[in-house]
Amino acid sequence: MAEALKHLIGAHTARDTAEALSRAWPAFAAADFLDNVLPQIDARELMQRGQLIAEAMRRHLPQDFAQAAPILAACLPDGNRPGLGGWALLSFNQYIAAHGLDHLETSLDLLKALTPHFTAEFGIRPFIDRDQDGTLSIIAGWVGDPDHHVRRLASEGSRPRLPWAMRLPKLVRDPKPLLPILTALLDDPEDYVRRSVANSLNDIAKDHPELVADFVALHRPDASPERLRLLKHASRTLLKKGHAAAMANFGFKALDGVMATLTLGDTDIPFPGQLGFGITLINGTEAPQVLMLDYAIHHRKKDGTMSPKVFKGRSLTLGMGESLRLDLRHVFRPITTRTYYPGEHRLDIVVNGISLASASFHLAASLPESGR
């Protein structure tokens, strides 16, 4: 069994932090700091463990953030100087976000120095929320930084709907201030950065689909293969929903004369188990058709209604009068993010965002609730 995430931070983290802070500032009361942390840390979950350490830091560092900031900076690795890295720096994020809000430039400089050693995307968000214009004007200057971690922080830290982090409601409502930053990073040499840009655009697409479809249309002509992959990944939510403009951006036009048939290997599926199904696609036109083939499982909910989830399939071109047979399977197994309920489910075959064939099946066994 995999170790629980909360163990990424523990007593060892508190001791490493105390040692680093003592090296950086000999007046640091390491014993008192550990007395505040160690008796409580095992009973807490991951983020709360980080917060516990951050709160103990507040008690034992100078109360003036301007005096505390250089101590934190001295705890980071620098050249041959060892320092803290990894999950130990979650507490630094939390400390800076809580106590550095009145020191925008100092705090952002510190988060910029921190991010090569552990992401600073959690720490930067309260600054964007409080002073969006001031914060974005600073991080916009990071898009040309030689360190790809810093460039990624400019896009990842400003994502409107970053998972595990506070939402940025102003940017959810109006994400246009992000577009210059994302545009500047479209052709970043690091895939790590480009994936972050795609994820930010996908966040935006959930609330402003037309804005993202238009952005992709603007930047798709003469795009490199790397940029094209970024733009398609950025459009994934729109493509799953069959958004017409997003589909057209990638050559998936409205269907004309394409037919699909669906056959199920079995209509009674045990849990765990798998659903086997076959799809036959027929192009009944006199021109090739560019197709995006997906499928949707309509999961039965506790109240008997159904909730669809689209699973990405493949892109293909079907020649004039051509037919194609595909045999696929969908596996049902325990996962933490879904509770499966027995009863009727439905499978849809989705081509260019349109359901062309559908069949029902019965999921025969249920699980105790383990997710939503």
Neighbours of 57 (CB within 10 A): 25
For the full predicted model, state whether its pTM sits above 0.95. Answer: no
pLDDT of residue 238: 93
Q: What CATH class does 258-363 carry?
A: mainly beta
Task: Extract the tokens encoding 60.
Answer: 């034992």
**Confidence at 66, pLDDT banded by 50, 70, 90:** very high
Pick from 183, 259, 169: nearest CA to 216: 183
Q: Which residue has the higher pLDDT, 133 or 365?
A: 133
Question: How would residue 366 be classed by pLDDT, with cut points 50, 70 and 90?
Answer: low
Report pLDDT for 368: 45
Q: Return the higher-pLDDT residue of 163 and 135.
A: 135
Cα separation, 128 vs 168, in Å, equals 8
Q: The tokens of 309 are what? A: 């989830």
User: Does the pLDDT value for residue 367 go beyond 90?
Assistant: no
- Summarised one tens digit per residue, pLDDT across range 334-347 is 888 888 999 999 99
Burial of 290 per CB tally in 10 Å (0-12, 13-18, 19+): middle
List b or e across 233-259, with b for residues whose CB sees 16 or more CB atoms inside 10 angstroms: bbbbbbbbbbbeebbebbebeebeebe
Q: What is the per-residue pLDDT across 248-299, written as a single tens digit (0 to 9) for each?
A: 999 888 777 899 999 999 999 999 999 999 999 999 988 899 999 999 999 9
Q: Sheet holding 343-351: strands in order across? A: 268-269, 354-363, 343-351, 289-300, 306-318
Beta bridge partners of 299: 307
CA distances from 125 to 50, 95, 128, 205, 214 (A): 17, 13, 5, 20, 27
User: Percentage of the chain surpassing pLDDT 70?
Assistant: 97
Q: What is the mean pLDDT of residues 197-202?
A: 98
Helix locations, the chain, DSSP H:
11-24, 30-41, 46-60, 65-73, 90-99, 104-114, 121-130, 132-139, 148-156, 169-173, 179-184, 191-205, 209-219, 225-234, 236-240, 244-249
> CA–CA separation, 330 vs 296, rounded Å?
10
pLDDT score of 353: 86
Say yes or no to pLDDT of 242 above 90: no
- Dig out the tokens for 154 from the structure: 């400019």
Q: Interior CA angle at 116 toward 115 and 119, to 5°? A: 40
> What local confidence, expressed as pLDDT, does residue 206 receive?
95
Q: What is the mean pLDDT of residues 299-326?
A: 92
Backbone angles phi, psi at 147, to 5 degrees: -90, 120
What's residue 312's pLDDT? 85
Does the pLDDT value for residue 57 go beyond 90? Answer: yes
DSSP 3-state assignment of 206? coil
Domain boundaries, the chain: 5-249, 258-363
What is the radius of gyration, based on Cα positions, of the chain? 25
Tell me the helix, strand and coil percentages in the chain, rounded to 5: 45, 20, 35
- Bridge-based pairing of strands 289-300 and 306-318 is antiparallel
- Count Cβ neighbours within 10 Å for each residue of 192-231 and write b for 16 or more, e otherwise: ebbbbbbbbbbbbbeebbebbbebbeebeeebeeebeebb
Q: Which has more pLDDT, 256 or 244?
A: 244
Measured in whole angstroms, how far is the alpha carbon of residue 22 from the centre of its chain? 36
* pLDDT exceeds 50 at position 146: yes
Cβ 187 vs Cβ 224: under 8 Å: yes
pLDDT in tens, 88-139: 999 999 999 999 999 999 999 999 999 999 999 999 999 999 999 999 999 9
Fold of 5-249: 1.25.40
